[in-house]
Copies of this chain bind each other. A is one copy, B any other.
């Protein structure tokens, strides 16, 4: 595996191997497997967990990382081909990626959705173009349409908590947020849960159904895994018997790239904030998951987040273990 752009890039076999190794690394964190190796971390957008866990993980494996943040101490980067670069961006990824690849044994890149055109962002062309430009292993740290390190950690979290792969009920719920957000996390979480064989419901208000290509991919995984994928705007029905609520906000596809037009619709949906009341019909001990950062009392109440249902900190902890296992898979071979 030269590039890890999406969870789909891991075969069933390698996915299980990475999860197993993540568990071993959780128990014995330190090694010298990456001694003398350098991982370049290119962040075109903000980060806390990813930035911290990648640096910590590389260090615990005996390697070194460095951070480049275009626009914050580095040049803004152009990602489109063929343009006349007389605007803000002083450098093109066609130079930046091959150049950085000469300084590192792997590149890991965060590059969020532009948020202008739905089809462009769903195609995830920018991160794919950057990966294609890299002669060294390339890790997606969240792109326009995918956040595979997050959902690799989420899969491990579900395993750790013994949420059943088959028969487990997973509710991916839209929640309110002041601004329309991209599809990277919901699309990745949905595909992950479907691939894991779970019974998945996408709970969302009318008008907030995920794009058809996102739904189709999840249904294809469910068909292979023996899981299922449905959609609903009926909270009570969707929550019945749920083992997990995975909360996330996202843009209304019909208004993509036109936030001012979406604003009045969105304004009426502030009650989409996960609270204890949501769990009335859920399975006993049902969990709350979120990729973080999360806005308290906007997406979820303090009560849920500070209570026993919440596993958000554990999810974040698994970022470290999962990413270390992934780096070993990509950089150090199976025997490392």
Chain A interfacial positions (CB closer than 8 Å to B): 30, 36, 38, 40, 43, 46-49, 51-53, 55-57, 59-60, 64, 66-70, 72-75, 78, 81-86, 89-92, 94-96, 98-100, 102-104, 178, 292-298, 302, 305-306, 312-313, 316-317, 320
Contacts and interface: CB of A to CB of B under 8 A. Distances in A.
Nearest to A302: B82
B38 A102 contact: no
Given A85-B297, A296-B85, A68 B51 contact: yes
Contacts of A55: 64, 66, 103
Contacts of A305: 94-95
Q: Which of A68, A82, A99, A294 has the most CB of B within 10 A?
A: A99
A208 to B, nearest CB: 19
A132 to B, nearest CB: 13
A149 to B, nearest CB: 14
B51 A91 contact: no
B102 A298 contact: no
A30 B38 CA distance: 11
A195 to B, nearest CB: 26
This protein's copies in its complex = 3
A309 to B, nearest CB: 15
A49 B316 contact: no
A316 B73 contact: no
A49 B66 CA distance: 12
B36 A102 contact: no
A38 B64 contact: no
Contact of A78 (B85, B94, B296): B296
Given A46-B74, A59-B38, A313-B98, A91 B293 contact: yes
A320 B103 contact: yes
3 A-B pairs with the lowest CB-CB distances in the bound complex, closest first: A91-B293, A85-B295, A55-B66
B102 A293 contact: no
Given A52-B66, A52-B68, A75 B320 contact: no
A306 B81 CA distance: 12
Nearest to A320: B103
